[in-house]
Amino acid sequence: MNEVKIPEEKIREAWHSYLTKGEMPAHMNTPWFERKIIRPFIKRMPRSPRCAVCYIPFEGIGGRISKAVWNVEPSKLNPHLCNLCENFATEYHGGVELEISILFVDVRGSTAMAEGASPEEYSKLIKRFYHAATEQFFKSYGFVEKLLGDEVAGFFVPGFAGADHAKVAVETGKRIMKAMGYGASSQPWIPVGIGINTGLAYVGSVNAEGGVSDIAMLGDAVNTAARLTSLAKAGEILISESTRQAAGLKLNGMESRSLKLKGRSEEVTAWALKAAK
């Protein structure tokens, strides 16, 4: 039996609605338990923790029912949300362009750390870093796109983080710094730099061999965030001008930087925010 091909326009519409509203378009067929009108009843099922959007429980009797009957469990992108987004990505191969806020956090001096510690000790340190950084993403309903070596990359969309996703990204960056030990009287337990950018990016499913689908972010705005991160010093958050404007940040306490980014012919303006502030 031939698989029914979903028109590209329908796929873009589905992704746009999902990422900007947190739900599928009303006219599209979705499982009954995913519909917004059902959420108040789902919320009564025992027990928390549960999905922050559709309220499907992950624990207790309700959690066992969710897993066994609907195959719903915590998302690998954000365990505060359910895995319906991964199922969505598998069914709707494609994506959409929209404005998002991107945050990268990178360990500084990781090569020297690895040389000065045993592989097991270094592994424990990086795992602690992953946990501390991703926990702050999850609290803000951001999506963690990848954990790569000594770096965590994620993004915030209006359908989950809200219309003020740029401001949410900046506040998340501050909390990540605090989680790494910055701002306290003692020295940070691991040195990190953060880069944040807001702009138009492609968000959608990326298919690997074997039919596995992941949700990824692609585009110049993502590359800019990564390059800002590479220039951020330990204990520093580099914020793009587009993020500063979108978040409505005042210039007090921030240092202006004119940066030469790889692949750009002209310097770009960024703002450095020290973790202690």
Instruction: Of 118, 117, 105, 32, give the one whose Cα is nearest residue 72.
Output: 32
- pLDDT, average across residues 10-23: 86
Q: Is 245 exposed, middle or buried (0-12, 13-18, 19+ CB in 10 A)?
A: exposed
Instruction: Of 99, 84, 110, give the one whose Cα is nearest residue 22.
Output: 84
pLDDT at residue 142 is higher than 80: yes
pLDDT value of residue 276: 64
- pLDDT, average across residues 175-201: 92
pLDDT at residue 230 is higher than 70: yes
Q: Report d(CA 222, CA 104) in Å as an integer.
A: 9
- pLDDT, average across residues 43-61: 82
CA–CA–CA angle 250, 256, 261 (5° rounding): 125
β-pairing, 192-207 with 213-218? antiparallel
Mean pLDDT of the chain: 86
pLDDT value of residue 169: 98
Is 240:268 a contact under the CB 8 Å cutoff?
yes
Enter the pTM of the model.
0.85
Torsion of CA 187, 106, 220, 238, to 10 degrees: 10
pLDDT at residue 208 is higher than 80: no
Q: Please report the domains of the chain, with CATH numbers, ordered by start residue.
A: 8-91 (no CATH), 95-274 (3.30.70.1230)
